[in-house]
Amino acid sequence: MRTALCALLLLVSGCGATVAQDKPAVDPVTVTNCGQQVTFDQVPSKVVTNDTGITELMFALGLKDRMAGYVVDGGNTVDLRTSPWKSDFDSTKKLADKISKEVVQGANADLVFAGWNYGFTESSGFTPDALKQLGIGTYQLTEACRNGVGKQRGIMPALDALYTDLRNLGKIFRVEAEAEELIKGYQQQISDAGKLMAGKPRPKVFLYDSGQDQPFTSGRNAAPQDVISKAGGDNIFGDLDDSWTTVNWETVVQRDPDVVLIVDYADGEANTPAQKQAFLEGFAPLANSPAVKNKRFFALPYAALVESPRNPASIEAFAKYLSQA
């Protein structure tokens, strides 16, 4: 009887043997990030993110509990106020306004999720290589990957960059099903938005981020390119093989925009979309452009116009505006 009982228990507990209670080690995963193969031996548990859109990627995938905290510039108050993940921001620690080695070391980070000009920069010494020397892993935002021509950024269309990062993060954090579900929903939302401008003329759109001496705008590799094009317009600087970049006013005037899409954040010269619109309306060389003459201005928050899970909703909102104008 005891032998039979022991045999039965052996199937469950080993019957007198010592049974390890620890969960099995997670198998390493390798993803391609900015053209490099990056392997993660463990699921990161103390992630520090830099910038609003990057942080929202983590929140959208339900990864708040994997974060040590986030870094967001103090000028991005509009982002936080309008975020669909405001409660996640409120319940996650804000570490600083500016990211640095000291900030991520103080948070005991095991991974920093940032991008070139989204935290990573040689001028401050805050780079993936510098963090590697400190034993801290990095993941780079795909929208901001350098493409091998100087410091130009962008290696794929903006929405492809969004989907790439969602899938990579899904693998790294073992939430692949959640990532695919998000992508499926975003693709449907974008497809539906595209129908709003079907058969209508495509307006020429100038993305105005900031800058009064010289305008800062979006080339074809930053998120506004797809926000504009999928909504039914044409980015007047869609021929530039770069992401966010500085141009000159002469070219803006020559390209004669029909609509201006304004980035809503404090840029140091103008703190509101109304102030930016007032500057453009008072800028004499643009006075005869259709955008100014017809007062066709539309604003979206900064986080809606960098790579982020807000991009599909931004496309829908801009498409609605264009279809009604």
What pLDDT sits at residue 64? 98
Looking at residue 169, its pLDDT comes to 98
- What pLDDT, on the 0 to 100 scale, is given for residue 23? 44
| pLDDT, tens digit, 9 for 90 and up, residues 160-180 | 999 999 999 999 999 999 999
CA 272 centroid distance within chain? 22
> Average pLDDT in the 79-107 region?
97
For the domain spanning 199-324, the CATH number is 3.40.50.1980
The sign of the dihedral angle between the CA atoms of 225, 230, 231, 232 is: positive
Q: What is the pTM of this model?
A: 0.89
Q: Distance from first CA to last CA of the chain, Å, rounded?
A: 85
Q: Cite the residue boundaries of each domain of the chain with CATH code 3.40.50.1980.
A: 29-187, 199-324
pLDDT tens digits, residue range 305-320? 999 999 999 999 999 9
How far is the C-alpha of 237 from the C-alpha of 123, rounded, in Å? 27
Q: From residue 276, give the alpha-carbon distance in Å to each of 25, 43, 228, 270.
A: 53, 43, 19, 6
pLDDT digit string (tens) for 206-253? Answer: 999 999 999 999 999 999 999 999 999 999 999 999 999 999 999 999
Categorize the per-residue pLDDT at 5 as very low, low, confident or very high, splitting at 50, 70 and 90. very low
Q: What's the pLDDT score for residue 24?
A: 45
**Percent share of the chain, pLDDT over 90:** 86
Q: What's the chain's length in residues?
A: 325
Does the domain formed by 29-187 have CATH 3.50.50.60?
A: no
- C-alpha–C-alpha distance, residues 222 and 189, integer Å: 20
Query: Is residue 181's pLDDT more than 90?
Result: yes
Q: Looking at residue 20, what is its pLDDT? A: 40
- Average pLDDT rounded to a whole number, residues 60-78: 94
303's tokens: 């986080």
Query: Which pLDDT value is given to residue 25?
Result: 55
Q: Is the pLDDT of residue 15 over 50?
A: no
For residue 271, the model assigns a pLDDT of 87
